[in-house]
Homo-oligomer: A and B are copies of this chain.
Amino acid sequence: MDVRTICLGILTRGDATGYEIKNLFEEDGYQHFVEASFGSIYPALNRLTEDGLVSAREEAQEKRPDRKVYSITPAGRSAFIASLLKPLPEDRHRSPFVFAMLFSDLLPGARVASMFDAYSAQIQTKLALLQESNGKQKTQGEEFANGFGRAIYEAMLNFLKTERAKYETAEAVAAE
């Protein structure tokens, strides 16, 4: 899913600025499976405007930077739906942590333990975010995404918990 398509999708739910689009990923997290950076959102919105798939109106604000509020056009809506009818790219789940674990035999036990605990805490945090926002979903799709995310994070945590005993504790190592 390229950033242009992602922007179109968000704009089907209402007008927004580039800044607001980015924040949707961080606040709502858009359920953790979609992301884009400023460095790709702003150029994407420019190209969408050129192509007539969105329209922009500038709002000069007092005491705040000017805003460019984008709206999706009928052509944009069609293009968006058309892109969802094409075969979808596969998921890509990149995990530097799993990569590092593949080489745990080369690392000090203390490092493995701390890496493990940090990762578990991170997943726990992400799960908590989804649980917190659970129930606030507006569409069936958002409910699905929230539930899917929770199912995955819970499974990850469960597995991590059962594996944890195989590695020395960070405290035990510190005590040596």
Contact = CB atoms under 8 A, between A and B. Distances in A.
Given A1-B96, A99-B1, A107-B81, A140 B166 contact: yes
Q: Name the 7 nearest CB pairs between A and B, nearest first.
A: A155-B155, A33-B95, A151-B159, A33-B98, A102-B141, A1-B96, A93-B93
12 contacts: A6-B99, A9-B102, A34-B94, A34-B102, A84-B100, A88-B97, A88-B118, A98-B144, A140-B166, A151-B155, A152-B155, A154-B155
A147 to B, nearest CB: 6
Interface in A82-129: 84-85, 87-107, 111, 115, 118-119, 122
Given A92-B92, A154-B155, 12 more contacts: A9-B99, A30-B99, A84-B106, A87-B118, A90-B96, A90-B122, A102-B145, A144-B163, A147-B159, A148-B159, A152-B156, A155-B155
A84 B98 contact: no
Interface string A27-51: 0001111110000000000000000
Contacts of A102: 9, 30-31, 34, 139, 141-142, 144-145
Interface residues of A, number: 58
Contacts of A158: 151
A36 B94 CA distance: 10
A147 B161 CA distance: 12
A156 to B, nearest CB: 6
Nearest to A105: B139
